Amino acid sequence: MKFNIRGENIQVTAALREYVEKKVGRLEKYFETTPADVQVTMHVHRGEGTIEVTIPLAGVIIRAEETHEDMYAAIDLVAEKLERQVRKHKTKLMRKLRVDSAAKVGQRDSQSVAVIIPDVDEEDVDIDIVRTKRFDLKPMDAQEAVMQMDMLGHSFFVFQNSDTNDVSVVYRRNDGRYGLIEPK
C-alpha cells in the first residue's frame, strides 16, 4: 500500500507514520490487488485527535473516521472500523459469487451446490431493515429543511429542494454544524 499521510494542526512524526502504516497495512491481506493510494488525514481540534482514512478500491471506497484524546487510540479504532468494513464488503462479494455460481450449476443440472468460503463472517453482512417510511416531499429551501429537522429532533432530513427541484438531504455533522447532500 502507498500511504499519503498529512496532518492538520499536528505534525506527523515518524512514529505516527509508522504506526498508521503498521495498523492500516494489516488490511492488505484482504485485498487481491494492492490499493493504489491510501489517503490518511490527521488533525487535532480542542485537544482531540481525529484520523480519517480513505481506501479507494475497484467500484467502492472504504472510508472511516475516528476521534479520541489519544491519536494512537484513534488509529487503533479506525483500523478496527476499516477491517469490519472490508470484511463486510468481501462477504457481500463472496455471497454474490456463491449465488451466481449456484445459479450456473443449477442451469447445467438441476442440483444446487453450496460453495463454502472460509474466513468470512456471515453475521457482519445481515442487514435488517425494520421499518419503511413513505412520505410526500415538500418543496423547501435548505434553511427550512434544517429547521424542520431540528423541530423533529432528527439527525437528517430528506426534502425536495425548491431551488433545484431535486431531492436533497440535510444532516447534522459531528461538529454540530450542518451538511447538505445534493445529486449531481
Please report, for the domain that includes residue 53, its CATH number: 3.30.160.100
Q: For the chain, what is the radius of gyration of the CA atoms?
A: 21
In a shared domain, residues 65 and 32? yes
Flag residues of the chain having pLDDT under 50.
108-122, 124
pLDDT at 36 (0 to 100): 66
pLDDT at 138 (0 to 100): 80
pLDDT at 115 (0 to 100): 36
Q: What is the CATH number of the domain that holds 161?
A: 3.30.505.50
In a shared domain, residues 124 and 143? no
pLDDT at 18 (0 to 100): 93
| Domain assignment present for 62 | yes
Q: Does the model's pTM come out above 0.75? A: no
Q: Report how far apart, in Å, the C-alpha atoms of 75 and of each of 53, 68, 89, 122, 149 are.
A: 9, 9, 21, 26, 33
DSSP 110: S
- Cell of residue 49, nine digits: 485527535
Q: What is the per-residue pLDDT across 72-92, written as a single tens digit (0 to 9) for each?
A: 999 999 999 988 888 887 777
d(CA 106, CA 171): 46
For the chain, what is the domain count? 2
Q: What are phi and psi of 28, to 5 degrees?
A: -60, -25
Q: Are 160 and 138 in contact (CB under 8 A)?
A: yes
Reference 155, options 139, 174, 136; nearest CA is 174
d(CA 57, CA 35): 6
In a shared domain, residues 149 and 119? no
Query: Which residue among 84, 104, 128 closes a domain?
Result: 128
In a shared domain, residues 111 and 168? no
Which residues constitute the domain of residue 84? 1-128
pLDDT at 110 (0 to 100): 41
d(CA 165, CA 107): 46
In a shared domain, residues 5 and 59? yes
Number of CB atoms found within 10 A of residue 135's CB:
6
Q: Are 66 and 42 in contact (CB under 8 A)?
A: no
